[in-house]
A and B are shown apart, each in its own frame.
Chain A
């Protein structure tokens, strides 16, 4: 059965493709690990087959026709010599890989990611050395190592983008880190991998790997303050956003400065998803998220603004959609 899966999987990698698949690598570390995975699956399948053939021979071959075997030779050979040889080879191949993949990297772009219950805060260096933030999406340049430092103000999370690299825990009271290096442009999905409470399942994020020039342009855009609202409704939305106290938590640079950790909204209009992968970022979904978001993601920090006039909510959604 194992061999069948292996065969089915290796016939066309189609079955393994995906924006969150460890078997469809787009990063340096993920590539090395995918190779390691296939080698070990092939080896494991071969060993399993071998052992099962021996078992079948021992049980089902009639005792008269069976060739006698020295018990101690079989036990020492199969139980000691063989595993020692195989495991040593595996360690010699696998352990140095750790240092190659997770050692220090020259010329890395530095990014800081904070895992919150249940969303990701992403910060880049601004032009003058301060930090500029975004949420639940991480843009990186292709071909350049990106040193992601990780911290958590609440519980343990784990930062994981299978297409690019293995995971690294995000631990309160400690600073951890991981280096990503995308080999080709694309959008990759990441997800919290350490159980972190009620909405652990809805703590996804997207990594967008861009060619270096595109990335630099994107970073320029991120550093820019929020766009002015275009149109009457968006303008009303901005007023309502401020009046309803959204800015107590959320930052929209140039408009309000949040004082509680909450996703930065300066350029929320450009994001593909809201609520850390809970909903696609459409105006309708934004209305749902503001008015009834607790039904979508029970336990999230933001209350549902169910008592607001539908028109007001739509206006806020319109305003946010314009923040590109």
Chain B
């Protein structure tokens, strides 16, 4: 350990004790995600034990109906939202920079902020149990059961607000990972040299950016309907119960692959290590990951086969649902080929991978079965589907997760891994799992529906349920054994060598336990498995350490481009998340004024956060190898610009979901706007649009003040026109949706104006930065484009089609 290493450690580390909460380093944040995610896994697991206990016998009364319904609602919610996605994002947060030869993620404060949103959102949701008002409407929250008339308690509010709060974290992590992967790979790590796990995280993150917005929108609309009576889902007032299902499954099906792809990435990392051979069919596997991402957005209707959707569209969705088996097949056979042509060495991680292969292939095969519409008519919403989804999710995600935890444990602890106890844990979980869920296929085919807190005897379900319960408890014992094993190894195992498995990926080039800066000098990468090829040449940013610096490289070829100065430890993420939390608690408590104040404070916090970013000092820095690079604030395409671009992709998905809701409700109405509801015509909205377009031109020419004035004028004209048209918010879904579109557009104008004002202030304060202007410009032009899309859907199309 050199003196420079010590200085680097002091510069990058997360402080000990309570002050560690101010740490933003990806190693700390990643571990926080993984540990918290595992705690939620245990919470969900305890709930599943309650469920299994209740179903042990016909007519069991351990739980009453409400308790049982709360148990399965919270079980699904914990597992899907608070365990599976966050723990995989935690893996990404922890591993991606190490695998791509970076020192940290590119927006450290963002991932720290995301973590706190995740934790607080989870605490908010699960606090409903303490208040005696847990959500009982299922993790899918179908309307109208969760609408105010049928769920007047606050259970759905706890759910909707907790989930939305926590999903800020998924969105933040996704933007973070995309930009980090595209822009901070070690020099030489072109896209075709990127580790498969990183590819999987990239595709996953892109899917999150597109898939979570429909859920966030649906949740927002439902909360507004519950709180203020705007009828989005109420069939009596022009809304529709199935709109929720479309929005939910537009999220919900990609969600399954959002959980599975990182797990597949873990498997593709572990298999080559123990086969002692690079992954076979690398390019095909990458294409398979991308194809899965695409296809997963075309499958959502396969959760709705029994909702009387026309048979022709069912045929399409059936074929698309089956097609997703092909990319999975490619990966399975790539793993087999890698093992076949390698010299496999058995070990605990590989054992878990083999268990995964059995369970996942079985789950995939039953997945093909339920993708076939007529078969699904029988088994939909039965225990057959419960069995199927656990084979896919527990087999497809938990087994790779446990494999990954055993695999990377030596990197985290620097200690040896004992193989014997790991095998014991594996067999307990493997046998327990199959004992629970294999018979459950039959339980479903014998007619047992899901989500029933009790069942009659004499239907042939008793023995099967008892077996499932025994298997469930065996699985739980296995998980307890896993925890014990990890704890003991962490405590008692002797120190081990670096790279104990002889792996080829870059994270094993880091000494273990890992230093907080990962790489004392950033390496140049020459191949796909750098440690198996020429050892990486250390080189860049090896000079004296004075601040957190990291290379930014080009997106495709990963050539050095700029140097980003990262912020250090700060309480801002925690503080901002607490303010955002105050907003959600305010909405939950119906203290809307307080919520509004919190929203304002959160906005201010974000601007303070931006203001505190470094941007003064030299414009260029020497990175070694005779290269001088601009610092990020002297570059017009800084990581911030990429972050904004990704955020806007998510924002467009959110707005697109709202436009989808508008068009979907239109298809159900006989006329649009419905009879008796005002239409603002085309004149005033046209003028508003022209003003907005002019503001874009003004902004482009650098007249920020004029741009602000034009945008505000346009927004005022549009608002006046809508008000004058006599729009009613509560009489019909039309008014409700148009009002939401207006709110959306107005919020964007407000943010754009604040950002432009920020630019003006920043210039006055003497910051000669180049990176901020393009970021705001991007947001500004996007806002105007979004406005134009809204104009077409709300004003132009109805007028054209009714004329």
Across-interface contacts of A47 in B (CB, < 8 A): 361, 365
Across-interface contacts of B66 in A (CB, < 8 A): 198, 298
Q: CA separation between A84 and B379, bound complex, in Å? A: 24
Are B242 and A195 within 8 A (Cβ)?
Answer: no
With A5-B439, A69-B337: A16-B445 Cβ-Cβ less than 8 Å: yes
A21 interface residue (CB < 8 Å to B): yes
Which of B322-330, B486-494, B632-640 interfaces with chain A? B322-330
Across-interface contacts of B332 in A (CB, < 8 A): 51, 78-79
Within 8 A of B (CB), among A132-158: 154-156, 158
Query: Closest A-chain residue to B238, C-beta based?
Result: A173
B343 interface residue (CB < 8 Å to A): yes
Q: CA separation between A33 and B322, bound complex, in Å? A: 18
Within 8 A of B (CB), among A76-95: 76-80, 82-84, 87, 90-91, 94-95
With A55-B357, A193-B380, A199-B65: A176-B308 Cβ-Cβ less than 8 Å: yes
Are A169 and B306 within 8 A (Cβ)?
Answer: yes
Are A66 and B340 within 8 A (Cβ)?
Answer: yes
Query: Closest A-chain residue to B452, C-beta based?
Result: A201
Are B337 and A75 within 8 A (Cβ)?
Answer: yes
Query: Closest B-chain residue to A60, C-beta based?
Result: B344
Query: Closest B-chain residue to A199, C-beta based?
Result: B65
B322 to chain A, nearest CB (A): 5
Across-interface contacts of B240 in A (CB, < 8 A): 173
Across-interface contacts of B241 in A (CB, < 8 A): 156, 171-174
Are B308 and A16 within 8 A (Cβ)?
Answer: no
B586 interface residue (CB < 8 Å to A): no
Across-interface contacts of A78 in B (CB, < 8 A): 329, 332-333, 336
Across-interface contacts of B448 in A (CB, < 8 A): 20
B119 interface residue (CB < 8 Å to A): no
Are A201 and B144 within 8 A (Cβ)?
Answer: no
Within 8 A of A (CB), among B332-349: 332-334, 336-344, 346
Q: CA separation between A66 and B344, bound complex, in Å? A: 12
With A158-B381, A201-B452: A36-B447 Cβ-Cβ less than 8 Å: no
B21 interface residue (CB < 8 Å to A): no
Are A94 and B372 within 8 A (Cβ)?
Answer: yes
Are A155 and B358 within 8 A (Cβ)?
Answer: no
Q: CA separation between A28 and B41, bound complex, in Å? A: 44
Across-interface contacts of B575 in A (CB, < 8 A): none
Across-interface contacts of B346 in A (CB, < 8 A): 59
Q: CA separation between A97 and B314, bound complex, in Å? A: 12
Are A54 and B336 within 8 A (Cβ)?
Answer: yes
Are A166 and B442 within 8 A (Cβ)?
Answer: no
Query: Which of these, B337, B372, B377, contacts A74 with CB under 8 Å?
Result: B337
A208 interface residue (CB < 8 Å to B): no
With A23-B446, A171-B241, A277-B456: A1-B375 Cβ-Cβ less than 8 Å: no
Q: CA separation between A238 and B190, bound complex, in Å? A: 86
Are B446 and A36 within 8 A (Cβ)?
Answer: no
Across-interface contacts of A231 in B (CB, < 8 A): none
Are B377 and A166 within 8 A (Cβ)?
Answer: yes
Are B308 and A58 within 8 A (Cβ)?
Answer: no
Interface size in chain B (residues, C-beta < 8 A): 88
B365, B382, B451, B453: most-surrounded residue (chain A CB, <10 A)? B365
A247 interface residue (CB < 8 Å to B): no
Across-interface contacts of B142 in A (CB, < 8 A): 155-156, 194-195
Query: Which of these, A41, A98, A158, A197, contacts B373 with CB under 8 Å?
Result: A98
Within 8 A of A (CB), among B165-191: none
Are A75 and B284 within 8 A (Cβ)?
Answer: yes
Query: Closest B-chain residue to A67, C-beta based?
Result: B340
Are A160 and B340 within 8 A (Cβ)?
Answer: no
Are B339 and A58 within 8 A (Cβ)?
Answer: yes
Q: CA separation between A42 and B340, bound complex, in Å? A: 27
Query: Closest A-chain residue to B379, C-beta based?
Result: A22
A 8-38 to B, binary, CB cutoff 8 A, 1 in contact else 0 = 0100000111111111000001101100110
Across-interface contacts of B497 in A (CB, < 8 A): none
Query: Closest B-chain residue to A70, C-beta based?
Result: B337
Are A19 and B459 within 8 A (Cβ)?
Answer: yes
Query: Closest B-chain residue to A30, C-beta based?
Result: B378
Are B372 and A36 within 8 A (Cβ)?
Answer: yes
Are A101 and B374 within 8 A (Cβ)?
Answer: yes
A129 interface residue (CB < 8 Å to B): no
Within 8 A of A (CB), among B279-326: 280-281, 284, 288, 306-308, 311, 314-315, 318-319, 322-323, 325-326
Are B446 and A22 within 8 A (Cβ)?
Answer: yes
Across-interface contacts of A19 in B (CB, < 8 A): 459
Are B375 and A40 within 8 A (Cβ)?
Answer: yes
Q: CA separation between A28 and B311, bound complex, in Å? A: 19
B23 interface residue (CB < 8 Å to A): no
Are A155 and B150 within 8 A (Cβ)?
Answer: yes
With A15-B460, A75-B330, A201-B455: A94-B374 Cβ-Cβ less than 8 Å: yes
B513 interface residue (CB < 8 Å to A): no
B658 interface residue (CB < 8 Å to A): no
Are B369 and A40 within 8 A (Cβ)?
Answer: yes
With A63-B343, A171-B241, A195-B145: A75-B281 Cβ-Cβ less than 8 Å: yes
Query: Closest A-chain residue to B338, C-beta based?
Result: A71
A196 interface residue (CB < 8 Å to B): yes
Are A80 and B460 within 8 A (Cβ)?
Answer: no
Within 8 A of A (CB), among B101-143: 136-138, 142
Across-interface contacts of A80 in B (CB, < 8 A): 326, 329-330
Within 8 A of A (CB), among B607-632: none
Query: Closest A-chain residue to B284, C-beta based?
Result: A75
B715 to chain A, nearest CB (A): 35
Are A95 and B315 within 8 A (Cβ)?
Answer: yes
Query: Which of these, A33, A41, A156, contacts B377 with CB under 8 Å?
Result: A33
B235 interface residue (CB < 8 Å to A): yes
B728 interface residue (CB < 8 Å to A): no
Are A69 and B357 within 8 A (Cβ)?
Answer: no
A180 interface residue (CB < 8 Å to B): no
With A20-B446, A299-B65: A167-B368 Cβ-Cβ less than 8 Å: no
Across-interface contacts of A9 in B (CB, < 8 A): 442
Q: CA separation between A78 and B354, bound complex, in Å? A: 18
Query: Closest B-chain residue to A50, C-beta based?
Result: B361
Across-interface contacts of B56 in A (CB, < 8 A): none
Are B329 and A17 within 8 A (Cβ)?
Answer: no
B752 to chain A, nearest CB (A): 39
A99 interface residue (CB < 8 Å to B): yes
Residues in chain A within 8 A of chain B (CB atoms): 1-2, 5, 9, 15-23, 29-30, 32-33, 36-37, 40-41, 44, 47-48, 51-52, 54-55, 57-59, 63, 66, 68-69, 71-72, 74-80, 82-84, 87, 90-91, 94-95, 97-99, 101-102, 117, 154-156, 158, 160, 162-163, 165-169, 171-174, 176-177, 189, 191-202, 204, 277, 298-299
Q: List the 7 closest A-B pairs by CB distance, nearest first.
A: A173-B235, A166-B377, A20-B447, A79-B330, A71-B280, A201-B452, A78-B333
**Given A2-B362, A201-B453, A277-B456, 16 further pairs, Cβ under 8 A:** A37-B375, A40-B375, A52-B361, A58-B336, A59-B344, A75-B333, A90-B372, A94-B318, A94-B372, A98-B315, A156-B241, A158-B381, A172-B241, A174-B308, A194-B381, A200-B451
Residues in chain B within 8 A of chain A (CB atoms): 64-66, 69, 136-138, 142, 144-145, 150, 235-236, 240-242, 280-281, 284, 288, 306-308, 311, 314-315, 318-319, 322-323, 325-326, 329-334, 336-344, 346, 350, 354, 357-358, 361-362, 365-366, 368-369, 372-382, 434, 438-439, 441-442, 445-456, 459-460
A–B pairs, 24, beta carbons within 8 Å: A2-B438, A5-B438, A15-B442, A16-B445, A18-B460, A23-B446, A41-B369, A44-B368, A47-B365, A48-B358, A51-B336, A54-B340, A58-B336, A59-B346, A74-B333, A75-B334, A80-B329, A97-B374, A101-B374, A174-B308, A193-B306, A193-B382, A298-B64, A299-B65
